[in-house]
Amino acid sequence: MYRYDEFDHQLVGERVTQFRGQVERRVSGELSEDAFKPLRLMNGVYLQLHAYMLRVAIPYGTLSSKQLRMQAHIARKYDRGYGHFTTRQNIQFNWPALDKIPDLLEELATVEMHAIQTSGNCIRNVTADQYAGAIDNEVEDPRIISEIIRQWSTFHPEFTYLPRKFKIAVTGHDNDRAAIKLHDIGIVIKQNELGDIGYEIHVGGGQGRTPFIAKKMADFVPKAQLLAYLEAVMRVYNRLGRRDNSYKARIKIMVHETGEEEMRRLIEAEFAKIDASQMLSVPQAEADRISAYFANPAFAALPATSAAMETAQKQDADFARWVRANIVPHKQDGYAIVNISLKPIGGVPGDATDVQMEAVADLAERYSFDEIRVTHEQNLVLPHVRLDDLKTVYDELQAHELATANLGLISDTIACPGLDYCNLANARSIPLAQEISERFADLDRQYDIGELKIKISGCINACGHHHVGHIGILGVDKKGTEFYQISLGGSADENASIGTITGRAFTEETIVDAIETVVTTYKDMRQDGERFIDTYRRVGLDPFKERLYA
């Protein structure tokens, strides 16, 4: 994992001091709320329904045990004993007091973390594939370039007051788990015939009010030129992106209105100018220094199978089910990638208590080379666990209600905080996720249904990624009452697609039945081996619509 050096420590420390001063000036009345609001937002502090909310960045979704323990500590000392993992691989605290936040940030800085640029119209926390460095057939660990991007984009003097927020995601794998086509910039690490590493760049994806799949802008930007290329995209956007209407200010709208060709021409022209200066090619020694932090941990040479694990699978059916659902093969023989579901039946998607966070931190320390990952689907990952240790890890997770065997299944729902917490919400999201998971609580039924991604947002901002859910649910408001709109056929992977709205919205009382109708329709129509999304793509919306509005 990346470790701060003196530069990082100094900058983050100075930022905390700066923010402490700003909070003091606000509380004393020297700063008005108008003047203070942009400052607090730049430091990740929002005002929500019941209290302030602090969003802490988890760069490219990687945490050490010490860092996760700090989140537990913060949850206990400054909050109400829990944190919420978001679809941007961040963690949010729902109840901190404003005047305590500088102290909180100071403690956070001791474990090399911060809340910088987790809000505001700047380049946000870079996200990446949660299986980075653990999955087989990866071109390169995406965290290396993500860390370089993190540094380049932090306190960027030119790009901190963009037309709108800006999100970058990176994957080094053909199977896209980072939803890169739904980001302002999506980066796929590629290797050309000569064996050189470079980057395929997608620009202009996004969700919200007007969802777009990103357009491929460049096939192969050589490694040394990536920052120059990114700076070119950012400059074209900052200079020519719309600011007259905040709904039209994201780069996706600019790409759409300008046209893909013209956008490419603008970017390439700017790129040529920036690249000519060579100012942004990272010195080899520095690139090497950063990649060394992401080198393989000291894996043991182990056989590809584990007798201990196989015996346990035979003896314990629950364990066997968990292995089947939540374990992903590792690139190294004898190891596995362990997914920890934060979606217990009836629970709040993405929430973890202080005790749970500490338990996961302990497990990571003992069994996963001190590493934890956060996924955009609001789960956690222990990336490098020995097959021999799986049963022990499982038992420990089980004891903390962290062993729900539902990864990728209907109860593994993404849900934004919605109207239970969020100031912008139209409707609640969490209770819906809870009711759906309770309706489909039976795991065998879930396995029978197979891979099905339900994603719920409490308003059109789409933090719950409803546009790209196989089944998407959007909360809408009619005169202070909650309604829910269904869309079908969305997908966030390498075959990304935007879902289509089925029709009129459902009430709080009828929405879960409607979801069940969609599932039944799929089951009635599916052919051998088809997942929900396959069936949907084959038969289209109509059969679902007929049954829903019969």
Partner 1 sequence: MAQHSSKGARFQAVTANRLSDGEVVYLTADNQWAETFPAADIADGAAAGEALLARALPADFELHVLEPYLFEVLQDGAHFKPASVREIIRAAGPTVRLDLGKQADAKQES
Partner 2 sequence: MHKDYQLVKDGALCQDEWHYSDDETALSDAPTIISLTRLKAEAEVLRARNAKLGVRLLADGNGKTKLGEDVAELAPYLDMLSLVSIDFPTYRNGRGFSAARILREQFNFDGELRASGDVLHDQWAMMRRCGITAFELAPTVSLEVFTKAMDELSEAYQPASDDQRGALWKRHA
Q: Give 487's strand partners.
A: 472, 501
Tell me the two tokens of residue 62: 């990687």
Which 454-493 residues touch partner 1, going by CB under 8 A? Answer: 477, 480-482
Stretch 209-228 residues interacting with partner 2 (CB under 8 A): 227
Judged by CB, which is closer to ligand SF4: 181, or 467?
467
Strand spans (E) along 319-369? 327-329, 335-340, 351-353
By CB under 8 A, is residue 238 in contact with partner 2? Answer: yes
Q: Look at phi and psi of residue 68 and say left if phi exceeds 0, alpha if psi is from -120 to 50, else beta.
A: alpha
Please list the residues that pair with 476 across neighbouring strands.
483
Compute the radius of gyration of the chain from its Cα atoms: 23
The nearest distance, CB 23 to partner 1, in angstroms, is 10
Q: Which two tokens stand for residue 116?
A: 């910088």
C-alpha–C-alpha distance, residues 459 and 46, integer Å: 17
Please state the closest distance from residue 186 (CB atom) to partner 2, in A.
Answer: 21
Residue 425 binds partner 1, judged by CB under 8 A: yes
Based on the shown chain and the rule CB under 6 A, indicate whether residue 472 belongs to the binding site for ligand SF4.
no
Of residues 379-438, those binding ligand SF4 (CB under 6 A): 416-418, 422, 424-425
Stretch that binds partner 1, among 49-57, 111-119, 216-224, 495-503 (CB under 8 A): 49-57
Residue 457 interacting entry, from partner 1, ligand SF4, partner 2, none, C-beta within 5 to 8 Å by type: ligand SF4
Using CB under 8 A as the binding rule, whether residue 232 contacts partner 1 is answered as no
Give the whole-angstrom CA distance, residue 17 versus residue 23.
Answer: 10
The listed partner (partner 1, ligand SF4, partner 2, none) that binds 283, CB under 5 to 8 Å by sort, is: partner 2
Q: Cα 173 to chain center, whole Å? A: 16
Nearest to 378 by CA among 267, 468, 455: 455
Closest CB to partner 1 among residues 229, 421? 421
C-alpha distances in angstroms, 76 versus 95, 100, 167, 510?
A: 11, 13, 30, 38
Q: Site size for partner 2, by CB under 8 A?
A: 44
Closest by CA to 404, choosing from 379, 386, 384, is: 379
Beta strands, E only, 397-535: 414-415, 454-457, 471-478, 481-488, 500-501, 506-507
Collect all residues with Cβ–Cβ distance below 8 Å to 218 and sequence separation of at least 6.
199, 200, 201, 229, 264, 267
Asked whether position 280 contacts partner 2 by CB under 8 A, the answer is: yes
Q: d(Cα 160, Cα 409) in Å, to the nearest integer?
A: 39
177 binds partner 1 (CB under 8 A): no
For Cα atoms 337, 343, 344, give the angle at the middle one, nearest 5 degrees: 110
Residue 476 burial (CB count, 10 A):
15
Q: Which of 27, 99, 161, 247 binds partner 2 (CB under 8 A)?
A: 161
Shortest CB 107 distance to ligand SF4, Å: 26
One of 285, 298, 301, 317 touching partner 2 (CB under 8 A)? 285
User: How many of the chain's residues bind ligand SF4 (CB under 6 A)?
Assistant: 13
Q: Per rule CB under 8 A, is residue 50 in the interface with partner 1?
A: yes
Question: Binding segment for partner 2 among 32-40, 74-82, 170-178, 308-316 (CB under 8 A)?
Answer: 32-40
**Residue 457 makes contact with ligand SF4 by CB under 6 A:** yes
464 binds, among partner 2, partner 1, ligand SF4, none (CB under 5 to 8 A by kind): ligand SF4
Binding site for partner 2 (CB under 8 A): 5, 7-8, 10-11, 14-15, 17-18, 35, 38-39, 42, 121, 148, 151-162, 227, 235, 238-240, 242-244, 273, 277, 279-280, 282-283, 285-286, 289
